Amino acid sequence: MRTHPRSLARLVGPVLLIGSFFALAACANTPGNTYDPQGDHARRIYELLIPIWWMALGVFVVVQGLLVYAVWRFRRRPGSAAMPAQVHGNTQVEILWTVAPAIIVLVIAVLTFRTQAANAVMPADAMRVTAVGHQWWFEFQYPELGTEGKPIVTASDMYIPVGRPVTVVLEAKDVIHNFWVPKLAGKTYMIPGKTNYLTFTAEQPGIYRAVCAEFCGEAHALMRFRVIAIDAAEFDRWVAQKRVPPPAPSGTLTVNGLTGDAARGQALFLDARKQCISCHAIEGTNARGAIGPNLTYYGSRQTIAAGILPYSPENLGRWLREAPGLKPGNLMSRVLTPQWIRANLSDQEIADLVAYLDSMKVSVALPPER
């Protein structure tokens, strides 16, 4: 296993090729890419990362270069039995390479603390949104924007205005969760019994992917949400609509050949025997369940069941039929077992419920996915 200089030189090409492939791939505009920041918090982190990345690359090249050179240069050649000089050390050299890393980390520390201070600022005029982590979905409350002391409450889609700082007040209902919108801001834990704060400003309108990043039990992988950043005027329009309860449902919706009736669907939803209102609330109705997500204006959700299915009436029907299989462990599946559904929810009733939930819509011009 001897390494020749020529074979080393031949390695340079492939190594550069592979390296640039990884570098390009890492910069691709994928939905959760922290190297593509779209918010001030994430951007400051990215801008701190770049100089550190170059320093790290320098250290990497120097140390690996010395290592490879030493192996090649000082390898024992056949027939050479010469004993190397028995050098025990050199204090000056050692002080030098004790001080050198110390200087590098000092520089990194200074840069770090500047960024840290900037990212800890919580402006007084920031809009407050309370985010609550549940097993396994995110609830969002807008205490400053509701009516009569009641906040606007929604789940899984967090609407924010572009260009205005938002302070997210982070809480958890059951176990620890972790609020992460990679393109907008770094993570902050949501801890039961403790309140955390995270401030960031979205710089671009867009729909941003977000997840729970702390292991929180069986369906942790299926606990996702979206941050929907829209310009201020559009955000005000969203708020104005969310402040009033949905109008009385009317109309029908045909899904997979079955026509559901929205008004009938509302009656079913409010029927205690169907169990919906034990957990769910809808503004303007008697549904006041506080265990599951608030379903007011559900027809405007981007996803179903905390980001696991794109929103569509078809998928909503599928969710009502197959909740246990789609999201193992979730609370709804403990009530809506296959046997219970067979006994208590006909396909027509599901179509009616879908028609009702789909009928409640907020009109907002949606930004592109980023």
Partner 1 sequence: MAIAERTAGTISPPDIHARPGWAGWLSTTDHKRIGIMYLVSAFIFFLIGGIEALLMRIQLGTPDNTFLTPDVYNQMFTMHGTTMVFLAVMPLNVGLGNYIVPLMIGARDMAFPRLNALSIWLFIIGGLMLYVSFFAGGAPNVGWFAYAPLTQKQFAPSAGVDYWIIGIGLTGVASIAGALNFIVTILNMRAPGMTLSRMPLFVWMQLVVAFILIFAFPVLTVATIQLLFDRHFGTRFFLPAQGGDAVLWQHLFWFFGHPEVYILILPTMGIISEVLPTFSRKPIFGYAFVAYSGVAIGFLGFLVWAHHMFAVGLGPLANAFFGAASFLIAVPTGVKIFNWLATMWQGSLNLTTAMHYAIGFISMFVIGGISGITLASPPINVQQTDSYYVVAHMHYVLFGGAIQGIFAGVFYWFPKMTGRMLDERLGKWQFWLMLISFNLTFFPMHLSGNEGMPRRIYTYEAGMGWELWNLLSTIGSLLLAVAVLLFLWNMLTSLRRGAIAPADPWDGATLEWAVSSPPPSYNFAVVPTVQSRRPLWDRKYPHLHESHDPGEESMERLGAVMHDAAETEPPIPAGAIHMPSPTYAPLILALGIMVLGFGIIYLGDLGLAAAAAMLVGLLVMAGGIVSWVRISHVDSPHHAH
Question: Of 82-90, 232-240, 250-258, 261-269, which segment contacts partner 1 by CB under 8 A?
Answer: 82-90
Residues 6-35 that bind partner 1 (CB under 8 A): 22, 25-26, 28, 30-35
Q: Which residues of 221-245 are buried (b: 16+ CB within 10 A; e: fewer)?
A: ebbbbbbbbbeeebbebbbebbeee
Cβ closest to partner 1, residue 48 vs residue 357: 48
Cβ closest to partner 1, residue 151 vs residue 329: 329
Residues 32-71 that bind partner 1 (CB under 8 A): 32-35, 42, 44-45, 48-49, 52-53, 56, 59-60, 63-64, 66-67, 70-71
If one asks whether residue 87 binds partner 1 (CB under 8 A), the answer comes out as yes
If one asks whether residue 339 binds partner 1 (CB under 8 A), the answer comes out as no
Could you report how far apart the first and last alpha carbons of the chain are, in Å? 49
Instruction: Round to whole Å and give the CA distance between 319 and 212.
Output: 21
Question: Of 142-150, 155-163, 181-189, 312-320, which segment contacts partner 1 by CB under 8 A?
Answer: 181-189
Give the chain's length.
370
Instruction: Round to whole Å and give the CA distance between 69 and 301.
Output: 59
On the 0-12 / 13-18 / 19+ scale of CB atoms within 10 A, 297 is buried
Binds partner 1 by CB under 8 A, chosen from 85, 124, 272, 343: 85
| Amino acid symbol at 307 | G
Cβ closest to partner 1, residue 182 vs residue 249: 182
Min dist CB 208 to partner 1, Å, is 10
Residues that contact partner 1, how many (by CB under 8 A): 94
Residue 63 neighbours by CB under 8 Å, 6+ apart = none
According to DSSP, the β-strands at 224-230 and 157-161 are: parallel
Cβ closest to partner 1, residue 66 vs residue 240: 66
Residues 107-166 that bind partner 1 (CB under 8 A): 108-109, 112-113, 115-117, 119-120, 135
Computed on alpha carbons and rounded to an integer, the radius of gyration of the chain in Å comes to 28
Residues 199-258 that bind partner 1 (CB under 8 A): 209, 211-222
Question: Of 86-94, 231-239, 268-276, 341-349, which segment contacts partner 1 by CB under 8 A?
Answer: 86-94
Name 200's bridge partners.
166
Min dist CB 358 to partner 1, Å, is 23
Name which of 153, 170, 139, 161 is nearest 206 in CA terms: 161
Cβ closest to partner 1, residue 193 vs residue 247: 193
Element (H, E) at 102: helix 91-120
Residues 298-327 that bind partner 1 (CB under 8 A): 308
Instruction: Round to whole Å and give the CA distance between 18 and 54.
Output: 18
